[in-house]
Structure 1
Amino acid sequence: MKDQQILRSLAGEYAELAMSDFNLAIPDRYRDLNSLNSSVRPPVLVFEEPWGELRHEELRLRCEDPRDRALEGRLRREIFKVRHHRGDYALKPYAEAQVVINNSGYGFTIQDERTIEAMTGSDISAHSYTDQLEDETALEKFRLPEITIDEEATAANVEHASRVFDGLLKVRKAGVALFTPFWDEIPRLHGVENCMYDLYDRPEFMHAVAEAFTRVYEHEITRYEELNVLETDPYYLHCTPACTWDLPVKDIDKDNITAKDVWCRSMAQVFSMVSPAMHDEFDLQYNQRLFDRCGLSYYGCCEPLHHKIPDLRKRFKNLRRISITPWADPDAAAEQIGGDYVLSYKCNPAFVGSGSLSVEGARREVERVIEACNRNHTPCEFVLKDVSTVSGRGEALTEWVDMVNDVIDRKWKP
């Protein structure tokens, strides 16, 4: 009873925030932004906070049951974010019950050793990987995964959410988002240095590996369509707004859902140091097959892409957003993007790392991006993510949000 009382209280707080007029208005701004309307005020968002070092009383867990405790943690973090460093973050006006998927895997299990553990409250650590792709014989291990719905676990999620949110919010099944980052997976099987050498020394082998992963992802997309479990109402694609007027919001239990109804996203972070031609040859041409099956696409993460936008434009006809990082040239990026895509700018988290915002550097970064987007009529947003530390002082996140909004107020030209 104690756990239920705690969850009902938190659910009531969440529902009040989620059903507020302010919150309900945010997704339409996202939709307008994703319609490439450069007059939309750039959203300001914070994700991937170092929750483990934020010792605020509001975040302290009190439930005992593991399932209750997991939901309690999610609710407390959502409420805390909205109260302390919300920016333009939107809460969903319903409770989600995740569809549980069984996936047998593609034939490999990552073998790694954590070489440096995080010293702060983040989940970030350094890894050393065992090479499982030493030669062509390793390719024989690839398998197309068996994918099924765990009906019992899914029903348990629905029952749990319904019990907690009864009379407060409706419950909706949450489906699967499409994400095809095989150049995150390949280095875990082969090692980063081995991958970089083999792109040059053994290109045929690396093409065979990329082809194997592409077939796995093609199979997964097909199975998700057959199982009718694709998610059509994502508010965020890995920290960036996903609401759009161009794709339908459907009910998993009532409507037929295909890949053409949803976003797909990918990236190749380890390709930060390779040429545009090599990036296109070993990643983009393969992801093109996957993106072509979907409604809209989003590309990039932490890799600089300002000099690779012509290749993205050539390959992805449904591309809507491009990630531009602190290691990219925002002037070159905005000039090439123009009004054709959303420039999703990922701000430098080093500016909050000390626990006190480094105002001058952070402000210059945002001003440069806004000025570039103003010149080129480029729709944009500002996202702070990959925050490995704020030195235990969460107020730095609030200060960052306030600073960015101040710069937008002064510099942005709709």
Structure 2
Amino acid sequence: MPGDTIVNDYISCPKVIHSTGFGIKEDVDIIRTDEASSVVSRHFHRQITEPEDIDKIKMPVVTYDAQATRENFQTMESLFGDILPVKIVGIKGRWFAPWDELIRLWGVQEAMIDLIERPDMVNAVMHRFVDAYLAELDQWESLNLLTRNDDNTRVGSGAYGYTDELPGDAYNADHALPHNLWGCATAQIFSDVSPVMHWEFALQHEMRWLKRWGLTYYGCCEPLDRKIGILRRIPNLRKISASPWNNTDRLIHETGTDYVLSRKPNPAVLAEDSWRPQQARSDLAEFLEKAKGCHVEVIMKDISTVRYHPQRLWEWEKIAMTLAGENE
């Protein structure tokens, strides 16, 4: 199942980095439908209910263990050095989804109701949460922990980060900075929240993070076809998630050729009792036909099950590669 996979010509040795975190973690009950699967149902216990709970969110402290990194590097080099070079690699961007975290602490229904009933509290919590993310980013920068991601690093919820726009002119090869890298953001729980409220309670806060990076990616599973107008306020936006929940015609009309559409076909076709390759082909072919002339990448993701038939993935990959070649 090679697809467009690109393999490094070196072995990565990650820098040993520690963070104290944000001081608050989810408290959750889970229910399994398949003991062999990591996909579970969750019920979150609320930890943010009143304004004073905002102080539970702490500013993280980051430390870099250079000695442990060197020791790991030496061990890996002794094991692999005669086959492939070993390269010390730092943080290659971060999945930034504060609302994904908040609903685990706040409760989905409660958070959505508070958009209307307690908007000031919602904004205060988001501001504090983004403060914490930025505090961590500042330390990554000062400790020289970042590594470029304009390569075969997955960017956001999309595909690779290859681009000729990064690392940009202001680049020191010995000390990469956020503006030399891709960043991303998403607010998946806002699928049915209006564009006005999406801006007020999510995007205006996320902008503080997005503006720090060289180029950015926005979105994941949420439909964004009604929100391209507010996304255009992101000055360095290059890729937009095109999940199957979008109105395809409206999404393509609104984006045109201004952005890369990061298409995620519906993975449900892989989860049915019987595998229907003709349906998988039809779903993808219909989108690619409508998106002719646009910039498109295709990523099959969010796969909960293939009914223990991984061959479905292999066949889907061949279908996707064939269709991509036909639509070049």
TM superposition score category, shorter chain reference: over 0.9
Q: Distance between the aligned counterparts of 1:126 and 1:391, measured in 2?
A: 18
CA distance in 1 between partners of 2:173 and 2:195 (Å)? 44
Which of 240, 250, 262 does residue 322 from structure 1 map onto? 240
1:365 pairs with 2:283: yes
Are 1:199 and 2:115 counterparts?
A: yes
Structure 1 residue runs of 5 or longer lacking an equivalent are 1-84
Displacement of 1:214: 1.1
Q: Contact (CA 8 Å) 2:191, 2:223: kept in 1 or not?
A: yes
1:308 to 224, 227, 234: 227
Task: Provide the rounded CA distance (Å) in 1 between the counterparts of 2:72 and 2:167.
Answer: 24
1:119 aligns with 2:34: yes
- Given residue 321 of structure 1, which amino acid in structure 2 is its aligned partner? K
Contact 1:304–1:325 (CA under 8 A) maintained in structure 2: yes
What residue in structure 2 maps to residue 272 of structure 1? 191
How many residues are treated as equivalent by the alignment? 323
Query: Structure 1 counterpart of 2:175, which letter?
Result: N
Cross-structure match for 2:181: 262
Flag the structure with higher helix content: 1
Amino acid in the other structure paired with 2:253: E
Question: Which of structures 1 and 2 has the larger relative contact order (alpha carbons within 8 angstroms, sep 6+)?
Answer: 1
Give the SS at the match of 2:197: helix
Deviation at 1:140, TM superposition (A): 2.0
**Aligned counterpart for 1:349 among listed residues 257, 264, 267:** 267
Query: Residue 291 of structure 1 aligns with which residue?
Result: 210
Counterparts in 2 of 1:104-253, with a 5 A limit?
Answer: 104-114=20-30, 116-119=31-34, 121-176=36-91, 177-233=93-149, 234-235=151-152, 236-237=154-155, 238-248=157-167
Q: Which runs of 5+ in 2 are unaligned?
A: none
RMSD across aligned positions (CA): 2.1
Is the alpha carbon distance of 1:247 and 1:359 closer, same or farther for their aligned partners in structure 2, counting shifts above 3 Å? same
Report what 1:12 is aligned to.
Answer: none
Identity value in percent = 33
Rounded to whole Å, the distance in 1 between the matches of 2:266 and 2:88 is: 35
Asked if structure 1 preserves the Cα contact closer than 8 Å seen for 2:146 and 2:175, the reply is no
Measure how far apart 1:409 and its partner are.
Answer: 3.8
On the 8 A contact 2:260/2:294 being kept in 1, the answer is yes
For residues 78 and 167 of structure 2, what CA distance do their matches in structure 1 show?
28
Q: What is the Cα deviation at residue 239 of structure 1?
A: 4.6
**Alpha-carbon distance in 1 for matches of 2:272, 2:56:** 46
Query: Against the structure 1 CA distance between its residues 184 and 160, is the aligned structure 2 distance closer, same or farther, given a 3 Å change threshold?
Result: farther
Contact 1:96 1:161 in 2 (8 A): no
Residues 1:401 and 2:320 are matched in the alignment: no
Q: Is the 8 A contact 2:242 2:264 kept in 1?
A: yes
